[in-house]
Amino acid sequence: MSPPRRRDSARSRQLLLEAAAGLFAERGFDRSTTREIGERAGVDPALIARYFGGKAQLYIAVLDLDRASARPADLLEPERNLMLVDRVDRRGPGPVFRAAVAPLEDPEVQATAVDQLHWRLVDPLRERFTREGLDRPQLRAELTVAAFVGIVLSRHGGAFRALAEAGTDEVVRLVLDMLNPRDGTADS
């Protein structure tokens, strides 16, 4: 009889993070199940609840891994805008985008998702608008992100046929034209 396997919680946690990051990148938040994450990690999926609290908290933990790197480019950078629109088109919105339009059930997950929303989307724009000398950079950044999230989520809501049928490149070009304060006529 072999000795009982010793559980390595740090290793199991890391395996879950890596597996979740891969599945969320491939399929998105909604299309990834805790069972699949556990299988890919080679650990019991129940450990997700034990180590993270649930799938949404695991998603946020995966996003937090990026915090060690440089802040992402802002939404007015064409490549960043294209990547975000394409990601939501392919995988659906994750908790961070959802937190922008409706509170998530768990207040702690909501607070973390809002923090991520600001770090990833609002803050880079506020920094740009400050550098460009625009007035009320925080408000401008929040309005820009709110408009962007609304547009991206509306592509799949069924209410706007032309928006849903438009190609990603066309949507990004028009969104950038609309959101860039330097290109608009009103600057107050």
3-state secondary structure 16-29: HHHHHHHHHHHHCC
Q: What is the pLDDT of residue 181?
A: 67
| pLDDT of residue 75 exceeding 50 | yes
Helices 9-27 and 55-64, packing angle to 10 deg: 90
CATH class of the domain defined by 1-68: mainly alpha
Question: What percent of the chain stands above pLDDT 90?
Answer: 57
Looking at residues 12-36, what average pLDDT do you find?
88
Residue 187: band (very low, low, confident or very high) from pLDDT cuts 50, 70, 90: very low
Q: Do 125 and 181 form a contact (C-beta atoms < 8 A)?
A: no
- H-type helices in 65-160, by residue range? 78-91, 95-101, 107-117, 123-131, 137-154
Phi, psi at 178, each rounded to 5°: -75, -40
Please give the residue that has the higher pLDDT: either 143 or 2: 143
